[in-house]
């Protein structure tokens, strides 16, 4: 029997047909549920997710029998009138709380209610207008006549007619201010039926364009621009390989201009939106309010506004800049997708599902819209460059910097060399120290890169060698000097710095290794008159954390900026003449098939911050392995050499772009159950998949938050059918989950693992 409609939530669908098809593709390609994609894709204010709220039953029986867990919940409910499921979990210290809650419901102790999460609230502003029949000149004289004894009200009406000549809606605030009146006076006029009030919905974020025209492209830029447009005649995707500071952004801007003229929408993806204030500033100068930013740190309401503007195909969000999740917006007619710094690992979502790669998912989305895709990077990923070399993508090379400034001169400092070792001052070789001193004395700025935050990785006992470990993870704790704490970088577990060794009671404790905090302190001692700033996860919290640090460096309030890889991401400073890489080696020896590629990208990108405007910059790399191929390639700016070598290794060792990878991660608190289940899964995969299966392997950190971890890697050869393989994997996982003793083992699937 048909039921009555209770409520219409949306007048029009908030999701388009194309989006649904795209999300279905993501779910099937990345092996997750469509629900996972929805949750990752939509601002929660549009999802109307409901939440369970637990409260005490008003007519609760007189103190019924309650086991411990029930009593804990009961107690918490007496202090706080209602609890969310999440809160009950923390009261009981476990995830599975519904069995207990169900019992309490049956005993009439608590009630469970579904409540809908925060929904979108439009930002409304109050406006006034005269009743239509009074809007004419004749209306005015009649009005003044009616109001001749109410001087204040008359003034307000006159002020209204004055403002009206600007032909813009007149807000209540504006009118009251202009007339020097109060809102009570206005209210009297509304009550008399002279004025009426109405509301207009406003966007929370607004940009004014400066009406600036775009700069002339240099000859090299123009050539690249022409190459891109002509490649687009034949290919949907084009890779722009342009060295750092070659002026890629201006080329993107020109292309956006051409596409925006046709009325189509543009999506501009960047790896880290918090670092793009500069870019947003540059684009809004030309395109004003056509630019919308989709920002995970924006409020729900702000995100819904962008969503709705894009859905309506409104001019206000014709050009969207965003991090990876912006590709889920409801585009109506997408004409161009730009993916800047396409090599960035941040484009791949790790947790939670959908574990999609934004570059690859955007290429699929563009195809659905018939849009073009421009990938840009100074250090393209092996995958994309391979696609360009084999002709799948078009390729445009831009080999010179804008303004013909030379790429920086790279100098290596061998840390093994006795000569330099003798001259070490803390972690600074004399060569590096001298160059910093010179740059500072010329009023130039310096960037120092150290890929580790905190003061030093470990605190070690000199008597017995004991290193304090996290209680919940298999890692040593990191020493943070400023707060005098040891902290786990995986679960946040923190203790005060011990005064003696917990194993042998010795007080002989020393720090080993070094992080950004220590570099900052050492440098402050070497150059006490200069300001040393630091940019890492610890100093950039909050909505404008990044911007504050970047601005103070731009404004030259900070002379030297010490930081982690955040420094590598497309920042443009014009007064930096020296970049120092404190230790190149810890990146190189990561247990990962992409380690050399990433080290190259990181070093080349950080180096690219040096000498960007007029003067050739300098880069100093401190390393124990100056003859390492990757480091040599960085010194020669030899991307091609790096690419050829890495591609060869990928082919030999069966890695992407030749083999596709599916990585499975298993987690459980019980070590034996985990290893047994991982072995089961590995065996069945090996039997049923006719391809290499690796594992089960203990990752570098074998336990996090008290859960043991094992990984299994499936390597899919180029000739195998991708869909068929995934179907088999899915089937095996289904039968795995059906085995009772493995039911609580958490399994995550990561397709195209990065
Ligand atoms: P990339 O993104 O390739 O590293 P940018 O686009 O940041 O390089 O450009 C580097 C610098 O050169 C910026 O300061 C930019 O303003 C300037 N620039 C680039 N192209 C032009 C141009 N055509 N006219 C004037 N300045 C330009
Ligand atoms: Zn000890
Ligand atoms: Zn931990």
Q: How far apart are CA 148 and CA 151, in angstroms?
A: 7
Determine the residue of 220, 246, 248, 250 to mutate for testing ligand 1's pocket, defined as the one with the most ligand atoms within 8 A of the Cβ atom: 250
Determine the residue of 246, 286, 402 to mutate for testing ligand 1's pocket, defined as the one with the most ligand atoms within 8 A of the Cβ atom: 402
Crossing angle for the helix pair 639-652 and 382-389, to the nearest 10 degrees:
90
pLDDT category at 421 given cuts 50, 70, 90 is low
For residue 501, the ligand closest to its alpha carbon is 2
For residue 279, the ligand closest to its alpha carbon is 1
Name the residue with the closest Cα to ligand 1, atom 18. Answer: 247
Whole-number Å distance, alpha carbon 182 to ligand 3 midpoint, is: 59
693-697 and 560-563 beta bridge pairing:
unpaired
Q: How far apart are CA 622 and CA 634, in angstroms?
A: 13
Name the residue with the closest Cα to ligand 1, atom 4. Answer: 245
**Whether the predicted pLDDT of 565 surpasses 60:** yes
Name the residue with the closest Cα to ligand 1, atom 16. Answer: 247
Q: pLDDT per residue over 363-385, tens digit each?
A: 999 999 999 999 999 999 999 99
Q: How far apart are CA 430 and CA 423, in angstroms?
A: 6
Whole-number Å distance, alpha carbon 496 to ligand 2 midpoint, is: 17
618 close to 611: Cβ distance less than 8 angstroms: yes
CA angle 729, 733, 736 (to 5 degrees): 140
**Whether the predicted pLDDT of 525 surpasses 70:** yes
Q: What is the ipTM of this complex?
A: 0.95
**Whether the predicted pLDDT of 176 surpasses 70:** yes
Whole-number Å distance, alpha carbon 460 to ligand 2 midpoint, is: 8
Whole-number Å distance, alpha carbon 498 to ligand 1 midpoint, is: 51
Residue 149, classified by CB atoms within 10 Å of its CB into exposed (0-12), middle (13-18) or buried (19+), is: exposed
> What average pLDDT score do residues 37-55 get?
81
Whole-number Å distance, alpha carbon 343 to ligand 1 midpoint, is: 20
Positive/negative CA dihedral, 156, 158, 159, 160? positive
Ligand 1, pocket residues at CB < 6 Å:
215-218, 221, 242, 244-250, 402, 572
Using the atom order of ligand 1, give the atom closest to the CA of residue 246: 3
For residue 340, the ligand closest to its alpha carbon is 1
What residues flank ion ligand 2 with Cβ within 5 A?
461, 463-464, 466, 501, 503-504, 506
Name the residue with the closest Cα to ligand 1, atom 5. Answer: 247
Name the residue with the closest Cα to ligand 1, atom 15. Answer: 247
| Structure tokens that stand for 428 in this block | 């600074």
Q: pLDDT per residue over 427-480, tens digit each?
A: 899 999 999 999 999 999 999 998 877 666 788 888 888 889 888 888 888 888
- Say what the pLDDT of residue 600 is: 96
């Amino acid at each position: 029997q048909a039921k009555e409609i209770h409520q219409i939530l949306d007048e029009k669908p908030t999701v388009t047909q194309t989006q649904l098809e795209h999300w279905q593709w993501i779910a099937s390609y990345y092996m997750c549920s469509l629900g996972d994609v929805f949750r990752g894709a939509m601002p929660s204010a549009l999802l109307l997710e409901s939440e369970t709220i637990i409260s005490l039953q008003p007519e609760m029986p007189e103190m019924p029998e309650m086991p411990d867990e029930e009593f804990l919940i009961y107690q918490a409910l007496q202090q706080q009138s209602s609890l969310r499921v999440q809160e009950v979990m923390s009261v009981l210290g476990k995830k599975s709380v519904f069995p207990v809650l169900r019992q309490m419901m049956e005993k009439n102790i608590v009630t469970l209610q579904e409540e809908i999460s925060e929904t979108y609230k439009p930002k409304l502003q109050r406006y006034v207008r005269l009743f239509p029949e009074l809007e004419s000149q004749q209306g005015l004289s009649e009005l003044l006549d009616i109001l001749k004894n109410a001087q204040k009200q008359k003034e307000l009406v006159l002020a209204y007619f004055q403002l009206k000549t600007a032909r813009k809606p007149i807000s209540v605030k504006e009118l009251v201010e202009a007339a020097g009146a109060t809102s009570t006076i206005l209210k009297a006029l509304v009550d008399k039926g002279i004025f009426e009030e109405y509301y207009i919905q406003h966007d929370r974020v607004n940009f004014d364009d400066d009406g600036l025209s775009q700069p002339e492209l240099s000859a090299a830029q123009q050539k690249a621009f022409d190459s891109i447009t002509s490649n687009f005649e034949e290919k949907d995707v084009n890779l722009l390989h342009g060295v750092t500071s070659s002026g890629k952004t201006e080329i993107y801007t020109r292309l956006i201009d051409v596409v925006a003229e046709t009325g189509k929408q543009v999506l501009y993806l960047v790896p880290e939106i918090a670092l793009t204030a500069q870019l947003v500033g540059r684009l809004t100068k030309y395109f004003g309010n056509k630019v919308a930013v989709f920002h995970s740190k924006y409020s729900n309401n702000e995100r819904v506004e962008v969503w709705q503007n894009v859905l309506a195909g409104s001019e206000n969000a014709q050009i969207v800049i965003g991090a990876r999740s912006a590709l889920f917006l409801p585009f109506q007619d997408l004409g161009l997708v730009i993916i800047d710094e396409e090599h960035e690992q941040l484009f791949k979502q790790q947790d939670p599902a959908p574990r999609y790669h934004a570059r690859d998912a955007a290429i699929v989305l563009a195809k659905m819209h018939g849009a073009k895709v421009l990938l840009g990077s100074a250090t393209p990923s092996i995958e994309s460059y391979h696609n360009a070399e084999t002709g799948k993508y078009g390729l445009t090379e831009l080999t010179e910097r804008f303004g013909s400034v030379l790429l920086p001169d790279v100098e290596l400092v061998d840390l093994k060399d006795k000569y330099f070792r003798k001259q070490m001052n803390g972690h600074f070789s004399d060569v590096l120290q001298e160059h910093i001193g010179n740059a500072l004395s010329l009023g130039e700025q310096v960037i120092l890169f150290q890929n580790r935050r905190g003061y030093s990785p470990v605190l070690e006992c000199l008597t017995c060698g004991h290193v304090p470990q996290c209680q919940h993870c298999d890692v040593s704790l990191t020493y943070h000097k400023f707060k005098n704490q040891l902290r786990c970088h995986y679960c946040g577990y923190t203790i005060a710095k011990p005064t003696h060794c917990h194993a042998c009671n010795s007080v002989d404790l020393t720090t080993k290794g070094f992080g950004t905090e220590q570099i900052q302190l050492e440098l402050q001692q070497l150059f006490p008159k200069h300001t040393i700033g630091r940019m890492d996860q610890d100093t950039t919290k909050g909505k404008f954390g990044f911007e504050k640090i970047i601005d103070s460096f731009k404004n030259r309030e900070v002379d030297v900026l010490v930081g982690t890889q955040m420094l590598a991401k497309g920042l443009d400073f014009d007064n930096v003449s020296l970049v120092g890489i404190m230790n190149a080696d810890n990146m190189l020896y990561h247990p990962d098939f992409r380690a050399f590629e990433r080290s190259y990208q990181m070093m080349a990108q950080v180096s690219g911050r040096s000498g960007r405007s007029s003067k050739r910059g300098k880069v100093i790399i401190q390393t124990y392995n100056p003859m390492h191929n990757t480091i040599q390639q960085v010194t020669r700016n030899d991307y091609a050499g790096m690419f050829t070598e890495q591609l060869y290794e990928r082919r030999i060792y069966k890695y992407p772009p030749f083999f596709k990878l599916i990585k499975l991660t298993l987690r459980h608190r019980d070590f034996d159950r985990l290893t047994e289940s991982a072995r089961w899964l590995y065996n069945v995969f090996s039997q049923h998949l006719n391809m290499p299966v690796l594992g089960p392997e203990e990752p570098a950190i074998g336990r996090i938050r008290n859960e043991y971890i094992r990984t299994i890697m499936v390597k899919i050869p180029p000739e195998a059918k991708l869909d068929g393989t995934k179907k088999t994997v899915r089937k095996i996982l289904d039968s795995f989950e059906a085995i009772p003793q493995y039911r609580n083992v958490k399994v995550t699937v990561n397709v195209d693992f990065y």
